[in-house]
């Protein structure tokens, strides 16, 4: 089962301060993925990817970007793992959200 690119989606209080902080650590913002005015952006340093999101959710999220989120969702259901937010539609971009045994939020987010 291919999980795709992994990133951490951080719930931040001030997108400008957070962007500056992560730039100090060597991260660069993807210009085509959100922006400060949008209150979200994706930053990368080498192979490490983080998303910064102001006011969109309360908790940090472990995020995977698979090519087939519906296959992963089916696999999880077959193993009796509860899905908090299931995929919608039969094809195309979609996501599903669940929690691990400790309550950490995990999102499988398919872009295409």
17 vs 89: CA distance, rounded Å: 37
E strands, 1-93, in order: 5-12, 28-35, 40-45, 48-54, 61-65
Residue 73's CATH number: 3.10.180.10
pLDDT of residue 111: 87
Quote the mean pLDDT of the chain. 94
Query: pTM for this one?
Result: 0.85
**pLDDT at 103 (0 to 100):** 94
Across the range 19-41, mean pLDDT stands at: 94
* Domain count along the chain: 1
Q: pLDDT value at position 82?
A: 95
CA 54 to chain centre: 14
Owning domain of residue 65 = 5-110
Residue with tokens 């913002």: 29
**Percent of the chain topping pLDDT 70:** 100
| Interatomic CA distance for residues 34 and 67, integer angstroms | 21
User: Please, which contacts does 46-50 make with residues 24 or more away whose CB atoms are closer than 8 Å?
Assistant: 49/5, 49/6, 49/7, 49/8, 50/7, 50/8, 50/9, 50/10, 50/22
**38-90: pLDDT as tens digits:** 999 999 999 999 999 999 999 999 999 999 999 999 999 999 999 999 999 88
State residue 98's pLDDT score: 97
pLDDT band at 10 (very low <50, low <70, confident <90, very high): very high
């Amino acid at each position: 089962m291919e999980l795709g690119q992994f990133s951490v989606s951080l719930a931040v209080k001030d997108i400008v301060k957070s962007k500056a902080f992560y730039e100090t650590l060597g991260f660069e913002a993807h210009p085509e993925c959100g922006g400060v005015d949008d209150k979200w952006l994706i930053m990368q340093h080498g192979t490490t990817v983080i998303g910064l999101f102001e006011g969109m959710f309360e908790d940090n999220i472990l995020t995977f970007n698979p090519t087939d989120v519906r296959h992963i969702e089916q696999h999880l259901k077959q193993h009796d793992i509860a899905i908090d937010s299931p995929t919608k539609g039969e094809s195309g971009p979609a996501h599903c959200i669940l929690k691990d045994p400790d309550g950490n939020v995990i999102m499988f987010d398919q872009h295409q």
